[in-house]
Amino acid sequence: MSTTAPTREALALHGGTPVRKVLLPYGRQAITEEDIQAVAETLRSDWLTTGPKVNEFEEAFAAWVGARYAVTFSSGTAALHAAAFATGIGSGDEAITSPLTFAATANCALYQGGRPVFADINKDTLTIDPEQVSFLINSRTKALLPVDYAGHPADLDALLKIAERNGLTVIEDACHALGAEYRKQRVGSIAHMTIFSFHPVKHLTTGEGGMVTTNDSKLAGILRKFRNHGISSDAGDRQREGQWKYDMVLLGFNYRLPDIACALGLQQLSRLDANLTRRKEIANRYSSAFREIPGVIVPAVSPQLVPAWHLYPIRFELGQFTVGRAEIFRALRAENIGVNVHYIPVHLHPYYRDRFGYKGGEFPIAEAAYESLISLPMFHGMTDEDVSDVIGAVEKVTQYYAP
Ligand SMILES: *Cc1c(COP(=O)(O)O)cnc(C)c1O
């Protein structure tokens, strides 16, 4: 790109030729023949739901993240609900979380009759600010619910220290961060419980699915019962022991992940390392290109961290372009770049406004981040050409709207 007078190529938004012919989504799964084979074999086997693949997947996943226990769930949302239950969150109890997340993170406290309390975020990493967290702790606080935004781990050391001082449980929402490292340790073995999602846009998919990892055997036991109606044994145990009796010991749900899905998860896990390497390559190409564009802020990476790059969100500095974020977003979509925005801050959703009286302005850093964010396509199946298209489109649109 020349740095002389900017060339203003006609935007697709105004009838110009789009950078690509077909829309590139912001995220998508990659399914191989081996994945299909594994699912087909399970369909031909004796077990469709809770059978041998569940244990195999849980053991392989626990080993991969370096945690003692892994418990599968039917979704990341169900996994969050179970973690809130296992923490003992009840009526009137508070869980402190980030406003810049998917609503499910905060909702899990509501499922238990508790209340999500939001703490503003760090302006660089966009993860929850431990100092803001410590201001909010009181006798009703039960849990901290940090989010590893975009795949960048939250400030876990500081949060665990606060938790220890106040007798709290840290439930880390790592739905973006499978494979991320925090001080040379993989996410999944650090917080009291860590939550993962296997939705198709995430690093590893089972269609729908989720996981909680923990090193605490007592928590693992509660999680296993909670996903199976609160019953203290599973169908496999009963068949092996040839008995009909079972005990329901707590009020749980049917949140089980079937063997069919776990067979897919096991196959996907075997390619996770390659997937993470590819995401890192894409992030590096993006960051070196976008760092050169005035008014564009690339994602910050704290020292001693390895992000998992679920998302690649860039921010546009207000006043550095002749239009706002909404117009830049529309222009990139017209170029067939499937941009997205992560996230509308949770407290600004109508349900939260109505129930808790939020009006906007309560969390200025999260709200300002939201106003300026655009997530660019980021998934391991992207080709080098796809990456070039995204870079070309961002350059084209930002040059067009440069002052
Ligand atoms: C995807 C996601 C969830 C929910 O996961 P599901 O599997 O879709 O229920 C929760 N929190 C965050 C941050 C997510 O990205």
pLDDT at 75 over 60: yes
CA of 99 to the centre of ligand 1 (A): 14
| Cβ–Cβ under 8 Å, residues 397 and 8 | no
- Token pair belonging to 381: 């199946």
* Beta carbon of 197 within 6 Å of any ligand 1 atom: yes
Q: What DSSP assignment string belongs to 67-105?
A: -SEEEEESSHHHHHHHHHHHHT--TT-EEEE-SSS-HHH
| Cβ–Cβ under 8 Å, residues 61 and 70 | yes
Quick one: pLDDT at residue 277? 98
CA of 174 to the centre of ligand 1 (A): 9
Quick one: pLDDT at residue 2? 45
* Beta carbon of 145 within 6 Å of any ligand 1 atom: no
If you average pLDDT over residues 43-65, what whole number do you get? Answer: 97
pLDDT at 148 over 80: yes
Residue 137: other Cβ atoms inside 10 A = 18
Quick one: pLDDT at residue 8? 84
pLDDT at 238 over 80: no
User: Which of 197, 204, 340, 346 should be mutated for ligand 1, with most atoms under 8 A from CB?
Assistant: 197
* Beta carbon of 203 within 6 Å of any ligand 1 atom: no
* Beta carbon of 307 within 6 Å of any ligand 1 atom: no
Domain 12-29+272-400 coded CATH 3.90.1150.10: yes
d(CA 172, CA 151): 12
If you average pLDDT over residues 312-321, what whole number do you get? Answer: 95
Residues of the chain with CATH 3.40.640.10: 33-269
Quick one: pLDDT at residue 229? 97
Supply the residue whose CA is at minimum distance from atom 2 of ligand 1: 175
Site of tokens 């106040």: 166
d(CA 73, CA 63): 18
Amino acid at 378: M
d(CA 193, CA 213): 6
- Give buried/exposed letters for 221-254 (b at 16+ CB in 10 A, else e): ebbbbbbbbbbebbeeeeeeeeeeeeeeeeebbe
Q: Which helix H or strand E contains 159, and what residues bound it?
A: helix 156-166
pLDDT in tens, 240-287: 767 778 899 999 999 999 999 999 999 999 999 999 999 999 999 999
| Cβ–Cβ under 8 Å, residues 159 and 170 | yes
Q: Which residues touch 269 (CB under 8 Å, ≥6 apart)?
A: 57, 60, 61, 64, 204
Residue 113: pLDDT band (50, 70, 90) is: very high
Q: What DSSP assignment string belongs to 264-327?
A: HHHHHHTTHHHHHHHHHHHHHHHHHHHTTSTTEEPPP--TTEE---S-EEEEE-TTSSSS-HHH
Quick one: pLDDT at residue 1? 46
Residues of the chain with CATH 3.90.1150.10: 12-29+272-400
Q: Which residues touch 177 (CB under 8 Å, ≥6 apart)?
A: 148, 151, 152, 153, 187, 307, 308, 310
pLDDT at 4 over 70: no
If you average pLDDT over residues 150-165, what whole number do you get? Answer: 98
295 to each of 298, 301, 360, how far by Cα in Å? 10, 18, 25
CA of 175 to the centre of ligand 1 (A): 6
Q: What is the mean pLDDT of the chain?
A: 96
Quick one: pLDDT at residue 318? 83
Residue 388: pLDDT band (50, 70, 90) is: very high
CA of 104 to the centre of ligand 1 (A): 6
75 to each of 49, 254, 393, how far by Cα in Å? 15, 11, 34
| Cβ–Cβ under 8 Å, residues 383 and 281 | no
d(CA 142, CA 70): 22
Residue 382: pLDDT band (50, 70, 90) is: very high
d(CA 90, CA 133): 20
If you average pLDDT over residues 143-154, what whole number do you get? Answer: 98
Domain covering 33-269 in this structure, CATH number: 3.40.640.10
Quick one: pLDDT at residue 232? 87
Question: Which residues participate in catalysis according to the annotation?
Answer: 202
Quick one: pLDDT at residue 5? 53
Quick one: pLDDT at residue 233? 75
| Torsions phi, psi for 263 (to 5 deg) | -60, -40
